[in-house]
Chains A and B, each alone.
Chain A
Amino acid sequence: MTQSPQTTPISPEPPPRRSWAGRSRLQSAQEFVVPPLIFVCALITVLTTVGIVFVLGLETVRFFRVAGIGLFEFLGGATLNPKADPPRYGILPLLWGTFVIAFGSSLIALPIGLLSAIFLSEYAPRGLRAVLKPALELLAGIPTIVYGYLALLLVTPVLKAVLEPAIRVEFYNALSACIVVGVMIIPMVSSLSEDVLSAVPRGLREAAYGLGATKFEVATRVVLPAGLSGVLASFLLAISRAVGETMAVLLAAGVKPQIVLNPLRSVETMTAYIVNVMKGEAAVGSAEHLSLYAVGMALFAITLAMNIVSGIILKHFREEYE
């Protein structure tokens, strides 16, 4: 350090201004202005949640008052027909439609996503992995409207061509929605699970190899159980994404609220109902219009519960290797 001898700590005159870069009035002001400002930014995220709960809660209460039905009638009613006389607002058909789509798409996405996660973390050579991971991420970046369009353009016609003379396939059907939504959430399962599986320490694998296990045994009996909590959490997140999916199911599964087991017939999900009411001519403030908030509340509650449970699984059932 080339320190001149004059600058002792008790020098009587202040040092020349240019030697100290950090203090103008503007800059001292920044010190006081910035923390509250960015605190407000953080507060906006909290306000968003408060806003969602407040808006949905308020309008749901209004719905029950205007429609004159009770909570039990809403949650337990098996018919949904706002145009009927008297109008019927049972959410069960929508819950059923949502369940069918979520279940069917997870039948496709969970196994495929998990297997690709295992492949990427255990088997893939570096070069292949460097190509496949971005490709899967691109798949995740495709907007849902494209998947919906694909269901109309490709999946339903193929289903018709394969099954049609024997089994009737409706133009809007649950199966094509399950297929496109399933494909849509594969990258979610695979990338989240892969992160968890890659994080399993090498030592565990090497110990298993040392005991004579094959690669298959290491992958399925050592690595997978070690990362199980993360894999389950990714499953839940993917299912919750399927539950909240709108455009693909609206285009593929249609807007017919009915409880049917046949996946080749049309169903309506909660999300599709919300959009459908909005697009319809229901007057603002009418019971039919307000019903979209009640359905939105149910949707929000279901997805929130799944996300919270997945967070708890991730936090409390994680294996610690320290």
Chain B
Amino acid sequence: MSRASDALYRPRRGLRRALGAGFAGLCLAATLSGVVVLVVLLGAVLVKALALPPNPPWFAVGEQLRELAAFLSRIASSTNSPNPELAGFKAGIIGSLWLLLLVALIAIPVGVGAGLYLEEYAPAGRLRRAIQTNIANLAGVPSIVYGILGLVVFSRAFGFQALALGKMLWAGALTLSLLVLPIVVIATQEALRAVPPSLRQAALALGATRWQVIRDHVLPSALPGILTGTILALSRAIGETAPLLMVGAANSILFPPSGPSDYYTALPVEIYNFATLPREEFRSVAAGGILILLGILLSMNAVAIFLRTPTGQRAASRAIAQLGRLGWSGRRAGRSRTGLASAVVVPGPGASGPDSEVAQPTDQGGAES
């Protein structure tokens, strides 16, 4: 082949190939930089947590691990103290777990409800679009703004002393619930959208009402998706610091909260406090707290990521089907569920078809339009 035709059919071929390879390398480097940062981050925190004496040589891995375990269990079991040798995160860990529980109890029902309304009930129109836009915008509001909202609405109750929650754990839980609500709603909607319409149509055709369709068929098959989004939302809540600083997570409390009406602090808030203290040893304590926080978060995220894989989804559906057989939503409901949900989600052994004696639904009254 002559040079001329080469130039005609493959213009600047060498240059273009080199550019392509260079660009691919650049992209790979950019992607790996994220992973490198993750490793550096964990490494730096780990090294700092191990900086307190005793300091075994770095190659004594077993020694190091034993020291780390002893250090973490010490700071997990002692409360705040001006002495870094004694200071720990017990109050913060228990406070954070309380917050997690309350946020789950508040945000999940409300968020799933709102998602259900938008996907299954709301008539397509201006109202639905407005709520939808509003949720999308709420998801982008900075967390500190939620803190301001919680400060005025929950902690002070607009100045009505009788209703004000002050520095109670309730104030933090309600604020965090509002913060994660949009995430739960969006996750619920996505999970509901993934449920095939044929499932709804089949259930409706067999005479189930709208709510029965949702309760017995749509929700069970959307549940793995909802769970994934919910876990991610909760892991966001447990890592939040700024809004809690606004609604009174105390600087230093010595006793862990024993109920939602107590004064409280949270793990990230205590980490922040230790990190800002001047003595160097407190930095190590803070690093230990970060390891505990990251341990909680990473295990939550791992569960969420697992639930999203096909294996995880199958496992979740199986668990849900089991719950259903144990009478998850009442015995009568169990009967109408046997057919569709378990047939579509997991063909369980106990699944029997819908009742063979077909009565005429209309003369029972109240069949949905």
Binding site for B on A (CB under 8 A): 1-4, 7, 9, 11, 14-16, 18-24, 27-28, 30-31, 34-35, 37-42, 44-46, 48-49, 51-52, 55-56, 59, 111-113, 115-116, 118-120, 122-124, 132, 134-139, 141-146, 148-150, 152-154, 183, 186-187, 190, 212, 214-217, 219-220, 237, 240-241, 243-247, 250-251, 271, 274-275, 278-279, 284, 292-293, 296, 299-300, 303-304, 306-308, 311
Contact of B137 among A51, A244, A274, A308 (CB under 8 A): A308
**Which 5 pairs across A and B sit closest by C-beta, in order of nearness?**
A244-B142, A143-B239, A41-B113, A119-B27, A216-B20
Contact residues in B for A51 (Cβ distance below 8 Å): 149, 153
Contact residues in B for A115 (Cβ distance below 8 Å): 26-27, 29-31
Q: Can you list 11 A-B contacts with CB-CB less than 8 angstroms, sorted by A residue number?
A: A4-B357, A27-B333, A31-B366, A55-B153, A59-B152, A132-B35, A143-B239, A153-B45, A251-B276, A271-B142, A292-B148
- With A27-B332, A307-B136 in contact, is A214–B301 under 8 Å at CB? no
Contact residues in B for A144 (Cβ distance below 8 Å): 239, 241-242
Contact residues in A for B111 (Cβ distance below 8 Å): 41
Roughly how many angstroms separate A320 CA and B149 CA in the complex, as a whole number? 40
Closest to B21 in A: A216
Q: Let me know if B23 and A219 touch, CB within 8 A.
A: yes
Contact residues in B for A308 (Cβ distance below 8 Å): 137
Contact residues in B for A271 (Cβ distance below 8 Å): 142, 144, 242
What does the 1/0 interface line of B232-258 toward A look like (CB < 8 Å)?
100110111110011000000000000
Q: Let me know if B113 and A38 touch, CB within 8 A.
A: yes
Contact residues in B for A187 (Cβ distance below 8 Å): 34
Closest to A302 in B: B142
- With A142-B297, A237-B140 in contact, is A216–B153 under 8 Å at CB? no
Contact residues in B for A216 (Cβ distance below 8 Å): 16, 19-20, 23-24
Chain B residues numbered 1-48 whose CB sits less than 8 Å from any CB in chain A: 9-10, 16-17, 19-20, 23-24, 26-31, 33-35, 37-38, 40-41, 44-45, 48
Q: Let me know if B335 and A21 touch, CB within 8 A.
A: yes
- With A145-B241, A246-B142, A300-B141 in contact, is A278–B246 under 8 Å at CB? yes
Roughly how many angstroms separate A39 CA and B121 CA in the complex, as a whole number? 9
Roughly how many angstroms separate A273 CA and B338 CA in the complex, as a whole number? 58
- With A132-B31, A139-B37, A144-B239 in contact, is A296–B145 under 8 Å at CB? yes
Roughly how many angstroms separate A275 CA and B145 CA in the complex, as a whole number? 11
Contact residues in A for B364 (Cβ distance below 8 Å): 20, 23
Closest CB of chain B to A21's CB: distance in Å?
A: 4
Q: Let me know if A116 and B359 touch, CB within 8 A.
A: no
Roughly how many angstroms separate A16 CA and B112 CA in the complex, as a whole number? 36
Closest to B24 in A: A123
Roughly how many angstroms separate A37 CA and B182 CA in the complex, as a whole number? 18
Q: Which of B56-64, B75-83, B267-275 contacts A (4 or more CB under 8 A)?
A: B267-275
Contact of A141 among B112, B130, B290, B301 (CB under 8 A): B301
Contact of A55 among B29, B148, B182, B272 (CB under 8 A): B148
Contact of B28 among A44, A111, A123 (CB under 8 A): A123
Closest CB of chain B to A244's CB: distance in Å?
A: 3
Q: Let me know if A299 and B142 touch, CB within 8 A.
A: yes
Closest CB of chain A to B101's CB: distance in Å?
A: 19
